[in-house]
Chains A and B, each alone.
Chain A
Amino acid sequence: MTRMSKSRRRFLQALGIGAGGLLLPSLARKSALVSAGPSGEPPIRLVIVYTEHGVPHVNYDMHGGRDADGQWEYDLTGVAEAEFSECLRPLYRHRNKLVVADGLSLATAIADPYGDGHAKGWCTSLTGGVARETFEDVKSNASHPSLDQIVAAAAREQDPLLSDMVSQHFGCYQYNFHASLYRAGDNGGPVQRVPHDESPQAVFDRLFPNGDGTQPPDPVRVARADVMSSVGDMYDDMAPRLGTEDRQKLEQHRDLIRDMESRIRLLDGLDCGPPTVDDFYWGEVPHSQRYLAHTRSFWDLATVAMSCGISRVVTMQWGQLPVDMIGGTGDLHHDYAHRSAPYLSAEPDYPNAVQMMTNYTAVYAGLVAELCDRLDAIPEVNGTMLDNTIVLWISELSDGGHGHEPVPIVMLGGGNRFRTGRYLHSARDTLTTTTASWVDDDTLIHQPHSHLLVSVAQACGVDTDVIGDATVSPKKTSAPDIDLSGPLPGLV
């Protein structure tokens, strides 16, 4: 057992788990934390994986000559590996548990013709709501809570034993503005960005407050919950003496402290095997080894947290993929993502830009497949953990051209809720929602992705028919509002 805690590059050897081995966390518990379903089956978990810049559709789509505007589906399970698109090929080994949900639009982003396309996509893709322009003069906040928040809140409502770690938010290179997720504020407060953790070591320390079990109990660590209790009492004492807004602010803080206290008490009663964490070099400049090390550590931590019943929801935001990981040089965003926009197809550098963005998408597909490997290796009573986990991979844009349709959406797992092993294409049959003067009223866009958000929420046990806005107006004023409620047909 080696612990080099003073080094920035730290390796915490797991208890009883060989280095480099596939993680198989202990399922033994001192206390039952997981609430099983009515018939004893494991709960449904949700992992949202978020990447930037959309995809190069010429190397992503798997239409097989079918109508790009039509409604259709086909079975992926019998498709040969060579027939998988270059972008999606790394997911081939999980094809039986895969749903490619193609042909959907971010209709709520299209509805607003102004503002940066990235930011509008970030705001609406998980909330189903039109973005609000508040911070820093850009569309930087969503007007509704996001899917992960909704699912997490419902899970806690159903299972009071779940702590504030019911949802976890991870990120690689998200220190800057890019690719943040957004949500409405808690307790009626102002909208906020969702904080996310970029240090696997910090997540490890939260999940395993007593360390890796190699040290004797430290009385200071043992007292952590009691300390939080004392601090919470101080907020209780002070809050009633304040005005309404200040009281809300402190009560929000108090509630989070109480959450933390209860989480520590719950985690003290768990007996889950800690994974190996590679915190690697902590710097701000993209670095491919660190990118991979952090991603894999986060996958291990997510797997443990969900299998031990600590967490139900995990989000992973990826930003700034180091450009050497796709064989390029320079600036990925501007040199490749932008230059891969379909409207630049006549430009001499377009083919190379498309290839680079193909590599880019394939790198992420490979990493998503690695997460699925971990989940699929853990047996549960009705299949594997992957069958009870919905992995939703989504982006803020359709492609490097900053459009919002068709938005690339891939779902893996969740086979106990969805029919998997399919390529599902939705039709372009919805009137455009833009208000832009330069777009014709009768222009059609793909079906709104809001329905897919509803499907996922319902599969996770949320009793709702709407995620975000219930309707959105088409540009054509004589036409009725577009209904965004209800699940996506054909998914279940």
Chain B
Amino acid sequence: MRHARTSRLGAVGVPLLLLGGCWGSIGDPGAADRCGEVVVPPAKRLSHAEYANTIRDLFPALDVDLPEMALDPTPNGFDNDADALRASTLLVDQYSVAATRIGERVRQRQADYLPGCTAAEGSTCGRAYIEGLAPRAYRRPLTAAETDGLVAIFDQYLAQDGFDVALELTTQVILQAPPFLYRIETLAEDGRPSGYDVASRLSYLLWSTMPDAALFDAASAGRLAAPGDVVTEVDRMLADPRALDGFMNFARQWLNLVRLDRATKLAADGLDDDLRAALTEEAQRFLTEIIFARGGTLDDLLTSNRGFIGPETAAFYGLDAPADWTETELPDDRQGFLMQAQFLTAHGHPNNPSPVLRGLFVLQRLLCVELGSPPAGVDMSIPEGDPDMGPTTNRENYDRATEGEVCSTCHVVINPVGFAFEHFDTMGRWRDQDNGLPIDDGAYVSGQILEGPGALVEYLAASEQVDRCVTRKHLYYALAGTDAVDDECLTDDVAEAFTASGGSLRELMRSIAVHPRFHGLRAEGQ
């Protein structure tokens, strides 16, 4: 059931300026001015996830072990920022290693990857291989000079070392070439992006991978030249199972699922590799099967009482362990992602659950509230009880530790959000008491007093500020951190469509993909 949307501005709220729709810009002569000019996006290196998916689709069923890649910076929490994705000595080396391994596998399984020819045909087969592979790898047709250059490389090694070596080395060259590793766009003379560039924009947003044959065909046939063409393709792509990859690549980063890898607990809590994997699986199944596959909404993500439990995670919810992963209705005290074990465990310290980490997550990732860093020299020890004061609750300990003037400036905002989750211990298990004392899970956010986590998630689910924040997060991801992120008109349009759809996360992807500011196309006459 969809919650009524409200816009509540409070002490920590980012003012909402609902500027009204400049949506529906197709055919609107003022649209370009309001939502920014079409510009050539910067050359953007594939993120590591995009690279792996692209290799998967370029060489189906290749079964190759790719090397670990040097971690990229993640400004604003996303790994695809165009400006941050630079080459490094280590990465260039790792691309070479990956290309070497792929080339070797292609040579070993050449019957599967040569386009209906054999090694015995020599140079002719080499050219056919290049003409089949390279346009897909570059995601556009090659110029004659580019093709001839690759064929010359192939022929040189063919003469020197034979067909197999030529095949392997030419594959290596293609996989390290700039048009493969980078998405480099150019505008046509009429200021429009090419159909091939539009295809890549759509495929990397919606699928996190290269365009498929249908997209290439559409681009080749001039059927990716107008906004209406994009709508057709977007609807097809969102119905394809690969849309799940696109959604999860965003959601995994937005919801910071990897934080669990860094969480440490006391030995008694048993957070080992297996349990980490199980908790991650739990969250992924919730997001993929309950939320995305069923056209779920932000509301569902925040308040659904459905979840998956596995043999190792059922105990977190006081449920009997099933033999395998099972979808179930979770107990009444659980609603949505924020009350599931993965999130709660990832945002807890060894000795106590952390209202600070949990509160910061809500503020920064759901409400887009920016907070500064703690000052130097302050005691950042994890709060604990003071033996001289007798038994105290975790809430009291955090209040006491952050009550000083320097700390309270921010913690008066952070802590009351995180306190909503005080009934969940550091492993996300329900607790009736804390240190033998009653638990106060009252919360305060944006000027609202909220009783417990249920009230908090209901509030968040109904908040237009959350809609707009999630829109901003997805736009940042979709636009790879380029200047268009600051386009308020674009944000207004997408947020409005998102809200109008009842908060459908699939519709959020769609409304970004079909927006002229994203795909860069204008209707005829504009």
Contacts and interface: CB of A to CB of B under 8 A. Distances in A.
Contacts of A202: 67-68, 93-94, 97
Contact of A227 (B173, B350, B364): B173
Interface string A31-72: 000000000000000000000000000000000000000000
Tell me which of B73, B176, B377, B406 has the highest count of chain A C-beta atoms within 10 A of its own C-beta: B377
Interface in B50-95: 67-68, 70-71, 73-77, 83-84, 86-94
Given A113-B376, A285-B273, A256 B92 contact: yes
Given A135-B74, A223-B169, A436 B377 contact: yes
A194 to B, nearest CB: 8
B235 interface: no
Contact of B168 (A117, A220, A245, A285): A220
Interface residues on B, range: 35 or more
Nearest to A438: B406
A199 interface: yes
A97 interface: no
Interface in A249-274: 249-250, 252-253, 256-257, 259-260
Nearest to A400: B381
Given A249-B43, A329-B266, A220 B77 contact: no
A335 interface: yes
Interface string B258-298: 00011011110000110010000000000000000000000
Contacts, number: 194
A136 interface: yes
Interface string A317-346: 000000000000111011100110101100
Contacts of B84: 135, 190, 192
Interface residues of A, number: 81
A11 B83 CA distance: 40
B357 to A, nearest CB: 12
23 contacts: A113-B375, A135-B73, A135-B84, A136-B76, A137-B371, A137-B372, A138-B373, A164-B89, A176-B261, A202-B94, A220-B100, A220-B165, A223-B161, A223-B165, A224-B96, A227-B176, A249-B45, A253-B181, A282-B68, A283-B273, A285-B273, A330-B267, A339-B381
Interface of A: 109-110, 112-117, 120, 133-139, 164, 169, 175-177, 185-186, 189-190, 192-193, 195-199, 202, 205-206, 219-220, 223-224, 227-228, 230-231, 234-235, 238, 242-243, 245-246, 249-250, 252-253, 256-257, 259-260, 282-285, 329-331, 333-335, 338-339, 341, 343-344, 348, 401-404, 434, 436, 438
Interface of B: 40, 42-43, 45, 67-68, 70-71, 73-77, 83-84, 86-94, 96-97, 100, 103-104, 149, 153, 157, 160-161, 165, 168-169, 172-173, 176-179, 181-182, 184, 261-262, 264-267, 272-273, 276, 349-351, 364, 370-377, 379-382, 387, 406
* 6 A-B pairs with least C-beta separation: A195-B70, A253-B87, A331-B264, A195-B90, A246-B43, A115-B373
Given A115-B376, A193-B73, A253-B86, 15 more contacts: A114-B376, A134-B75, A195-B90, A202-B94, A220-B103, A227-B173, A234-B178, A238-B184, A260-B93, A260-B96, A329-B267, A330-B266, A331-B264, A402-B376, A402-B377
